A and B are shown apart, each in its own frame.
Chain A
Amino acid sequence: MSFDPTKNIKIGLKHSLALLTLFFAFSGFSASAQESLAIRAGKIITGVGQEIKDGTILIEQGKIVAIGKEIQLPANVKVQRYPNGVIIPGFVFAHSQAGLRISNENLPVVPYISVMDGIDPISRNFPNLLREGVTTVHVLPGNRTRIGGQGAILRPYGKTVDEMLVKNASAIKISLAPGFGQSPMSHMAAMRNDFLSLYNYLKSLIPVEPGQELPEAGTAVSSLTGLVRPAPKWSAIDYKKIPEGKIDAQRMPFVKLIKKEIPAVIYCSQASDVLKAFEIMDTHGIKARIVMSSSAYKAKDILKKRKDLGPIVISPNLETTEIDPITGKEKKIKIGKVLHDAGIEFAVETVTPSGIFNLSGSYHPWFQVATLIKQGVPKDVALKALTLTAAKAIGLDHRLGSLEKGKDANFVIFSGDMFDVRTWVDHVFIEGREVYARSKDHELQELLKDKEKGN
């Protein structure tokens, strides 16, 4: 492929722009990726339904400024060519415990802790994620804490957690799975109480004249179940009236949740938990995303009717078996297919590995995509479940998840077709910078050394 550099009079301007941005560089990561770069590849899958043969991506300051088959390139741009390469958007994990050795605190209500303090930046999880082509990972506390800590959205690349950080305090984890020694009854009663006591606490902070006391919590009726449940009167709390610095630092993140400054991620361990998640969202007016186990698919019709949910995140197990009530035989439930047919937008999780390499297929993002396709989900929807829809589930779809103009230059270059067993992740780019190259992956080379010799 020959490339005729177009003569452009605006070269000088371009350079001065680049210099300018150098001054305004805020993050250590993106500052280093200011140069413009063009990537040419045999095929570019944009992740929004397009496939560009022999396409080019032009990157400036970590963002995609142009993508297409025939695009004009600036004169002195560095062009990297991958004639056999297949480019797809970098994978996004919407719910993960990567880098956390212990993901649950033993106290049930810990909104004040943050995964930022628990993540081990030199954990093997991260290089492993890069090797798989993952460019963004939403790390959240585990499913065994009632009101868990705050999550963070990271790049799996960097020496410190701060370097890896994309977004801090991204969400607060709420789990509807009862903790050890608890039944769903006591778990939910305690959950209702957690919100009540926060209300009572905030109420106590606002100085009032005698006789002007703020209202006590009341009750409200759930629209779906008809249950009369305790309901704090959050609208009565005027946060401006709370003296500065009066709110306990430990309670602050929980308060932010109520103020809708942080969304919640609610884990549903079974279908009926979905009704409880709705109860929490309605009673306290919080923003929430649903993460659900493989048995929660039964609530599909009810999930579908609710319009404010955004994509649902489904657990790594994409298949479950149950007894067919008609035939009495065990039948396989293809969760991806069932949800897609129901018209539900969903993102898919992968298994967080414990060792260096995990043999289970659902550890690999491409395997999850392939499983969805095998179940009968359309190809683009299946890919989106780990790219654009996952980005939407973490509220970053304006930046991540697809290869479009203006988005972060996060992508993976495969050595060939993504689902071919002989295909490898050759290169991974995050914000326009190559963060992984198989040729430099010493760990992988060490592991495959003997194999390639034929032993």
Chain B
Amino acid sequence: MSPLVVPNHKNKLKSLLLLLLFALMVSPAVQADDHKKKEKAKKKEAPKSYVLKAGRLYTGTGELLEPAVVIVKDGKITAIGKKLDLPKDLPVLDYSTQTILPGFIAFNLPLAGRNSDARSLSPEYLALDAYDIFREYNSLLRAGITSAGISTRSNRLLSGRGLVVKTGGAKGEEHKRIVRAAGGFEVQLGEPSKRPPSVYNPPVLASPDDPFKVLPIQPPVSRAGALHALSELMAMAKAYDAKRKEKGSKTSFEPGLEALRDLVSGKDYLKVQADRAIDIVALADLAHKNKVSVAFEGAREAYRLRELLAQRKIPVVLTGTFEPGKLSREDLSQTTIYGASQDGIVGTLLKAGVKVGLQTPSDSPDLLLFQALDAVRLGISTQDALKTITSTPAEILGVQDRVGSLQKGKDADFVVFEEDPFKTGGSPVATFVSGKMVYPLLKDQPEDITLIRCGIVYPVSSAPIHGGVIALKDGKIHAVGNAAVLGMFPNAKKVIDATDQVVIPGMIDAVSQLGVHSERIFPTTSRNHPSGGGGRATYRLYDALDPKDPDLQVVGNVGFTTVLLTPDPVGSFSGQITAIKIRGKDQDPKVVKDPVAFLMGSVSTSTLKSAQKYHETWVKYEKALEDHKKKLEKEAKEKKEKEKAQAEKGKEGKKPTPKPAAKAPTEPTRSKDMDVLRAIFTGKLPVLVNARSESYFKNIFVGLTDKVKTKVTIMGPSGLSSASRDELRRRKIGFLMHPSSIQNKASFPQQLDSNGIPFGIVSGTSVGARDLPFQIAYAVREGLSEKAALEAVTLAPARFFGLDKNIGSIEDKKDADLVFLSGRPFGLTTQVLRVMVDGKFVYQKEK
């Protein structure tokens, strides 16, 4: 360093000191802040310990608990039983209407790639080295498979050691997915492993002592060769083991034989792929002679050796035969010749006392449960079938102390089914690994979630969900689905039990005159009416609403949460429609949208024309005004520039004579009524048009729908010709009907439904909506589908009036307006038990 440069040490020191001081002052605060953050993060995480309740629970060891309680602590089961003393501080995961099974165990999945190495015998190879422990195996988790044996899969005689892993979970600590890092020497007998290529393995550092040489052709070519190679290997391993055990052993470390020491000492086993009986018996004998354990995989002809296998306690993992789209290739005639009964191979082996596991054909690893169900179909018991895909493979893989059954001390790996899969089939709704839900994956974990467990949910936008669950947050629907939603929000603030109830969206009466008694007394047609009278575009029925009118509760309590206050269809422009929400007797109704639509009593071509002309004049004016403004701006700019140029030039020259300012366009005469109507030409406001009979349709189509951009809905007559129906469908025009349409012809709504014309059913009166559900129930009894009936008072009107973003169905992000029923919607004796608006109960039926 040059001594010539004198840095300013003093200043540096000062600043350092200051910094230090500052750091000292700040650090406790920072720490406290960090601590808070950490605590917050902790809270947001799913609880590691909880009480799990199940309606039915199969332990996987032959027991069925009904109901069952499980205490899960840090991913392990600490207690399980029908009834337990429950610790009060733990949250409850309530699956008391569902069935729980242990996570399934796939015995052998070829997920470690293919070992393409040429060696016939490579006991030191590990499937672990080729398996990507970080990959997400969602299709397996979705199928309820929580653990899997992973093989070295190769067409070689002895290709290495397998591995047992969890198929998901342990995010951020993926190495914990390993259940057994090395286990099961993979042996392949039969044709595939015969005639392996010869190996060219040059010495890496060739020298005269270690020259390049070509290795001889490898065994085996025949079964005898294979068996000889294996027994020789076994003998070598035994000798090696004995030598290594000696004190001060001089035997140098040989990785392959070192690995096989586990086998000859009984810690590991041979996992043999063999189909033919002759291969099975030969290897069973070899294992017996060398006192090593063995399990057979595939083993199509194992049933022929069932006495031997039972006697020697050799387990067998059969490959199920079910594959979608493929018929069985098994020669069933053979099974009868050799004494197999109608029970199928699984049943035959089980009866003989052989331990049997099941696996799937490798093309469809997610169909494990199907193989077990297939076995049940062929006659074995449910409990035995479940064992073949849970506890038995776990036992063979040597991981029964952790997985394969739901018992005290084991991992909380389980699968939730809506109903007992052995009775009704079906797919898992949720899968848990080590106590944490891994399928379906969590989107986020917001706080303040309220869960509603329902008997049936009718979302309307999709098919009914039996045992559905609705998650609410801030008065909105956060999620809706099957029981999986329960596991998604284990931190839910509140759980509302409605498991004996049917939940539908809050209903909509799209044409109503609720709560406007005074309006009925002074007919709106009267010009003396305080509002200035009906029959004009500015007229609004909402202005006459009495928020305390008891009628509101009468209609609200039958499940109508939104009503559209619609004027009488007087004149051709009858007035504006307002959508309001009824929110119980303690709260005044709230405006959802005002105006939500415009009512036309009839379509008069001339009035429409004048409205259109008015609109066009104004569009023209507005454009002209815009142009005018631009022009002025431009002129101002030019003027400035000119002045600037002038200033630069000096004061020479004449001042330019100012141009006369452009004239502003004159404003057309304004009309309040017409102003309102402009919204229908810009597409901003939907139109509801009254048509007493079909004869008005032509006028509507030609005069209205062809002219305006807006959505048109027809409130129509109680019967339509097929030509009109076609026209409605083609033009995608919605249709509203009064219950009188049902009275006249109960088949009318059905007719519309089957023609694909969306329709709504409306009351059109004040408290008339009270009876509307029962009127619809009558139509349903007469044959209208439940789906169409429900849509007619929910999603269909919501769509007609552009309200379907917030109401009309039970979907994510919509308002939590729900009706709780005692039975099916439009059941003749169905009662409304509770009504919820914006996440709050506004009505509860007195018991």
Residues in chain A within 8 A of chain B (CB atoms): 8, 10, 13-14, 17, 36, 58, 60, 65-66, 68, 71-72, 74, 107-109, 181-189, 192-194, 196, 200, 211, 213, 216-219, 222, 224-228, 230, 232, 248, 250-251, 270-272, 275-276, 298-299, 301-302, 325-326, 405-406
Complex: how many Å from CA A187 to CA B116? 11
Nearest A residue to B261 via CB reads A219
Find chain B residues with CB under 8 A from A74 CB: 2, 4-5
Residue in B4, B251, B441 whose CB lies within 8 Å of A216: B251
Nearest B residue to A184 via CB reads B130
Find chain A residues with CB under 8 A from B127 CB: 185
Complex: how many Å from CA A60 to CA B1? 8
Can you spell out 29 A-B residue pairs with CB atoms less than 8 angstroms apart?
A13-B3, A60-B2, A65-B2, A68-B7, A71-B7, A182-B117, A183-B114, A183-B115, A184-B113, A185-B112, A185-B115, A185-B117, A188-B126, A189-B129, A192-B255, A200-B252, A216-B250, A216-B252, A217-B253, A218-B253, A227-B126, A228-B181, A230-B255, A251-B205, A271-B133, A271-B174, A299-B174, A301-B171, A302-B172
A36–B2 CB distance below 8 A: yes
Interface status of B443 (Cβ within 8 A of chain A): yes
Residue in B2, B133, B134, B181 whose CB lies within 8 Å of A226: B181
Nearest A residue to B127 via CB reads A185
Find chain B residues with CB under 8 A from A184 CB: 112-113, 129-130
Interface residues on B, range: 35 or more
Find chain B residues with CB under 8 A from A71 CB: 5, 7
Find chain A residues with CB under 8 A from B255 CB: 189, 192-193, 196, 230
Complex: how many Å from CA A187 to CA B124? 11
Say yes or no: A216-B181 contact (C-beta < 8 A), given A272-B134, A275-B175.
Answer: no
**Residues of chain B in range 166-210 having any CB-CB distance to chain A below 8 Å:** 171-175, 178, 180-182, 204-205
B130–A271 CB distance below 8 A: no
B160–A185 CB distance below 8 A: yes
Say yes or no: A301-B172 contact (C-beta < 8 A), given A72-B4, A74-B4.
Answer: yes
What is the CB-to-nearest-CB distance from B737 to chain A, in angstroms, rounded to a whole number? 40
Residue in B4, B113, B114, B117 whose CB lies within 8 Å of A8: B4
Interface status of B657 (Cβ within 8 A of chain A): no
Residue in B5, B125, B178, B251 whose CB lies within 8 Å of A58: B5
Complex: how many Å from CA A276 to CA B126? 12
Say yes or no: A72-B6 contact (C-beta < 8 A), given A196-B253, A216-B249, A251-B205.
Answer: yes
Say yes or no: A325-B136 contact (C-beta < 8 A), given A72-B6, A184-B113, A227-B126.
Answer: yes
| Apart from A13-B3, A271-B174, A275-B133: 8 A-B pairs, beta carbons within 8 A | A14-B4, A185-B122, A187-B129, A189-B122, A192-B255, A227-B181, A276-B129, A302-B175
Interface status of B804 (Cβ within 8 A of chain A): no
Find chain B residues with CB under 8 A from A66 CB: 2, 5, 7
Complex: how many Å from CA A301 to CA B133? 13
**Residues of chain B in range 561-617 having any CB-CB distance to chain A below 8 Å:** none
Complex: how many Å from CA A271 to CA B175? 11
Find chain B residues with CB under 8 A from A326 CB: 440-441, 443
What is the CB-to-nearest-CB distance from A253 to chain B, in angstroms, rounded to a whole number? 12
Find chain A residues with CB under 8 A from B7 CB: 66, 68, 71
Complex: how many Å from CA A406 to CA B205? 45
What is the CB-to-nearest-CB distance from B120 to chain A, in angstroms, rounded to a whole number? 13
Interface status of B128 (Cβ within 8 A of chain A): yes
B129–A107 CB distance below 8 A: no
Residue in A72, A193, A302 whose CB lies within 8 Å of B174: A302
Complex: how many Å from CA A224 to CA B171? 14
Say yes or no: A65-B5 contact (C-beta < 8 A), given A108-B204, A185-B125, A185-B160.
Answer: yes
What is the CB-to-nearest-CB distance from A388 to chain B, in angstroms, rounded to a whole number? 21
Find chain B residues with CB under 8 A from A187 CB: 129
Residue in B130, B181, B244 whose CB lies within 8 Å of A222: B181
Residues in chain B within 8 A of chain A (CB atoms): 1-7, 112-117, 119, 122, 124-134, 136, 138, 152, 160, 171-175, 178, 180-182, 204-205, 244, 248-253, 255, 258, 440-441, 443
A216–B5 CB distance below 8 A: no
Residue in B128, B134, B252 whose CB lies within 8 Å of A225: B128
B178–A185 CB distance below 8 A: no
Find chain B residues with CB under 8 A from A406 CB: 1
Complex: how many Å from CA A184 to CA B133? 13
What is the CB-to-nearest-CB distance from B446 to chain A, in angstroms, rounded to a whole number? 15
> Which of A189, A217, A325 is packed against the most chain B CB atoms within 10 Å?
A189
Residue in B138, B152, B171, B248 whose CB lies within 8 Å of A213: B248
Say yes or no: A109-B182 contact (C-beta < 8 A), given A219-B258, A225-B175, A276-B129.
Answer: no
A186–B441 CB distance below 8 A: no
Complex: how many Å from CA A220 to CA B434? 27
Nearest B residue to A222 via CB reads B181
Complex: how many Å from CA A21 to CA B258? 60
Nearest B residue to A77 via CB reads B4
A10–B175 CB distance below 8 A: no
Nearest A residue to B132 via CB reads A272
The list of the 5 closest CB pairs from A to B, nearest first, reads: A301-B172, A186-B117, A217-B253, A188-B129, A271-B134
Nearest A residue to B1 via CB reads A65
Find chain B residues with CB under 8 A from A17 CB: 2
Find chain B residues with CB under 8 A from A250 CB: 205
What is the CB-to-nearest-CB distance from B231 to chain A, in angstroms, rounded to a whole number? 23
Nearest B residue to A275 via CB reads B175
What is the CB-to-nearest-CB distance from A84 to chain B, in angstroms, rounded to a whole number? 26
Complex: how many Å from CA A74 to CA B131? 64
What is the CB-to-nearest-CB distance from B429 to chain A, in angstroms, rounded to a whole number? 16
Find chain B residues with CB under 8 A from A194 CB: 204
A213–B250 CB distance below 8 A: yes
A14–B2 CB distance below 8 A: yes
Find chain A residues with CB under 8 A from B122 CB: 185-186, 189
What is the CB-to-nearest-CB distance from A330 to chain B, in angstroms, rounded to a whole number? 14
Residue in B4, B113, B132 whose CB lies within 8 Å of A183: B113
A224–B175 CB distance below 8 A: yes
Find chain B residues with CB under 8 A from A302 CB: 172-175
Complex: how many Å from CA A65 to CA B126? 56
What is the CB-to-nearest-CB distance from B143 to chain A, in angstroms, rounded to a whole number? 14
B116–A182 CB distance below 8 A: yes
What is the CB-to-nearest-CB distance from A91 to chain B, in angstroms, rounded to a whole number? 26
What is the CB-to-nearest-CB distance from B181 to chain A, in angstroms, rounded to a whole number? 4
Complex: how many Å from CA A217 to CA B244? 11
A299–B251 CB distance below 8 A: no
Complex: how many Å from CA A200 to CA B254? 11
What is the CB-to-nearest-CB distance from B136 to chain A, in angstroms, rounded to a whole number? 5
Complex: how many Å from CA A201 to CA B4? 57
Find chain A residues with CB under 8 A from B124 CB: 189, 192
Find chain A residues with CB under 8 A from B443 CB: 326
Residue in A13, A227, A272 whose CB lies within 8 Å of B182: A227
Find chain B residues with CB under 8 A from A272 CB: 131-134
